Chain A
Amino acid sequence: MDRKAIGDKIQVILVKVLKHDRFEMHDELTATMVEGWDSLTHMAIIAEIEKEFSVQFKLKELNKLRNMGTLLDLVQSKLN
């Protein structure tokens, strides 16, 4: 699956969990830039991503995420 398709699916998940679409997807997007994406909602987003792509993350991998670009790379690496 290419990065664009992964990004689109993650965008749908963010809208579903955060209940708004007031953000634009790009590689430099971070959680602090998205209203409501905080520590209380973060793991719900992660769980949805795991379910959507049928992948499993390790906490170590999540701790290394810096922005949307690194999340897309991580998901892509799990799918390949």
Chain B
Amino acid sequence: MYFHSILFAPFLFFLFFVYHFVLPKTQKGQNLLLLLGSLAFLGLNDLKSCGIILITGLINFAAVKKMSQLAEGNLKKYVFYLGCAANIGVLGYYKYLGTLLSGIQSIFQGQSTNTLTDIIIPIGLSFYTFQLLAYWIDVYNEEIEPETNPLDFGVFILYFPKMLSGPIELYQKFSPQIKLPRQFDTALTTDGLRQFMWGFFKKTVISTHCLSFYAIAFPEGQTHAGLVVLLGGMLNIIYIYADFSGYSDMACGLSKLFGIRLTNNFASPFFSTNISEFWKRWHVSLSSWIMLYVFTPLSFILRRHNKVGVIVSIVTSFVLVGIWHGATSNYIVFGLLHGLFFIPLVLRGGSINASNSSTSAFSSSTKMFGTFMLIALTSLFFRDVPVRQTLQEITSIITSGQLNVPTALFHGATNMLYWLLIIACFVVEYIQRRHEHALCIAILPTWKRWLTYAIVLCIIFFFSSYPSDHFIYVQF
């Protein structure tokens, strides 16, 4: 049961109605309902995940509380290390062990007979683990006080809008919002519905049609060469963006219905003029997490090594971003390349040039296009094909000289209409790039707002399709 499935609508309506119009407006009652609703949501998706997350959540709650009561010293340090290691261990067992063992087996025996690859990762475990690790670190460093109320802690870790694929929320940002009773706020609710609608449009219209175009341009099981690789990369990254930012807009929008603001995961990333800007706008909650808990401590340790220290820190951080997606060589190469893309910026002295106001529109557009192409081509490592093949395909853009773009992509009025919709989506996002989301239209006159709703709803009604019922990032 995902946000865009039919079953989710009555579930959401029931929860929203009881939350705002049936329950007395008490903090405890609202949090209890959110916890029960979240458990039901998770249980309906995967009962086993629900059990694992509930048990590990309770252990973490008690352990962090206990650790915070210990005096400064070795014991506290060991409990902290043990707590972090245990959380990483659970994630490692479900997410990485199978892949690692089959990799080792393949090296020594030529093929893998490892059954651990069949282990199914609990829903949202990577997102959930990163939230818990941040909580452990911040309590240990005395940045925050540990949560003493198990109900509030339960809402923090299980809150259903962010459970499937984030955003990865920090306790200090999320928790203050659930410490007081929440009143029904018409403006926030309306804004949430608009954001949800835009996310729904990106997921069911843009992402699905990009995926079908991608399947035509880049059929599975073949090695591609020439210009089509460029097109495949572009379609792939737009598909990933529409799917994941669509999910994130839906998650943030839904959360606003309950009076809670989540981190906006995307801020028009394709309009970035360099890789540093891109990562400030793409999967913001993950990149901020990596910045806070990996890059900053590492660059602090290596600060006396000047630019070499920064480069080592940034490359390590991005390799970790790659590994967060999966333990296969594809993701590691993806992370490594993104880390290496930062080297010119570090050598040049940060992102000074990016913010130079005297940069011409032409120069900005060229940089935007260049950054987009880098991102598009590296997105090809997200496919389940060997790294060597992807590298060959990317090299072939220059070496093969083939200008082979499948004409089927542009045949017929329907396909042309889908292309127009994809372009229109990005035109709207560009116009609205300084806003929280593309449908921030509260300042428009009523008739213009309702006309916008009508247009978006009509497009969803006539052009949405459901070739896949899942979100890409649920697998991570």
Q: Do these two chains interact? A: yes
Between-chain CB contacts (< 8 Å), 9 pairs: A17-B349, A18-B349, A18-B350, A40-B346, A43-B302, A43-B303, A44-B306, A60-B142, A63-B141
- B residues near A43, Cβ cutoff 8 Å: 299-300, 302-303, 309-310
Chain A interface mostly: helix
Residues of A at the B interface (CB closer than 8 Å) are: 17-20, 35-44, 46-47, 50, 59-60, 62-63
Contact A62 B300 (CB under 8 A): yes
For window 111-168 of B, CB contacts with A under 8 Å fall at 141-143
Q: Which residue of A lies closest to B298 (CB)?
A: A43
Which of B300, B304, B355, B356 has the most chain A CB within a 10 Å cutoff?
B300
Known contacts A43-B302, A44-B303, A44-B310, then 17 further A-B pairs from the complex at CB < 8 Å, ordered by chain A residue = A17-B349, A18-B350, A19-B349, A35-B352, A35-B355, A36-B349, A38-B350, A39-B296, A40-B345, A40-B346, A41-B350, A42-B299, A43-B299, A43-B310, A46-B300, A59-B297, A60-B141
* CB < 8 Å neighbour of B351 from A36, A42, A59, A62: A36
- The smallest C-beta distance from A62 to any residue of chain B, in angstroms, reads 7
Interface size on B, residues (CB 8 A): 27
For window 330-366 of B, CB contacts with A under 8 Å fall at 342, 345-346, 349-352, 355-356
* CB < 8 Å neighbour of B303 from A36, A46, A63: A46
- B residues near A37, Cβ cutoff 8 Å: 350
Q: Which residue of B lies closest to A47 (CB)?
A: B303
Q: A46-B303, A47-B306, A63-B143 are in contact. Are A40 and B351 (CB under 8 A)?
A: yes
Report the Cα distance A47→B355, complex, angstroms.
Answer: 24
Which of A40, A42, A46 has the most chain B CB within a 10 Å cutoff?
A40
Contact B300 A18 (CB under 8 A): no
- The smallest C-beta distance from A44 to any residue of chain B, in angstroms, reads 6
Q: Which residue of B lies closest to A51 (CB)?
A: B304
B15 within 8 A of A: no
- The smallest C-beta distance from B408 to any residue of chain A, in angstroms, reads 44
Contact A40 B303 (CB under 8 A): no
- The smallest C-beta distance from B419 to any residue of chain A, in angstroms, reads 37
Report the Cα distance A44→B349, complex, angstroms.
Answer: 10
Which of B291, B310, B345, B350 has the most chain A CB within a 10 Å cutoff?
B350
Report the Cα distance A10→B299, complex, angstroms.
Answer: 20
Q: Which residue of B lies closest to A64 (CB)?
A: B143
For window 260-316 of B, CB contacts with A under 8 Å fall at 276, 291, 295-297, 299-300, 302-304, 306-307, 309-310, 314
- The smallest C-beta distance from B350 to any residue of chain A, in angstroms, reads 4
Contact B276 A40 (CB under 8 A): yes
Q: Which residue of B lies closest to A45 (CB)?
A: B303
- A residues near B350, Cβ cutoff 8 Å: 18, 36-38, 40-41
- The smallest C-beta distance from A6 to any residue of chain B, in angstroms, reads 19
Report the Cα distance A42→B297, complex, angstroms.
Answer: 12
- A residues near B303, Cβ cutoff 8 Å: 43-44, 46-47, 50
* CB < 8 Å neighbour of A38 from B276, B304, B309: B276
* CB < 8 Å neighbour of B349 from A41, A46, A50, A59: A41
- A residues near B306, Cβ cutoff 8 Å: 44, 47
Q: Which residue of A lies closest to B302 (CB)?
A: A43
Q: Which residue of A lies closest to B357 (CB)?
A: A35
Which of A35, A44, A46, A62 has the most chain B CB within a 10 Å cutoff?
A44
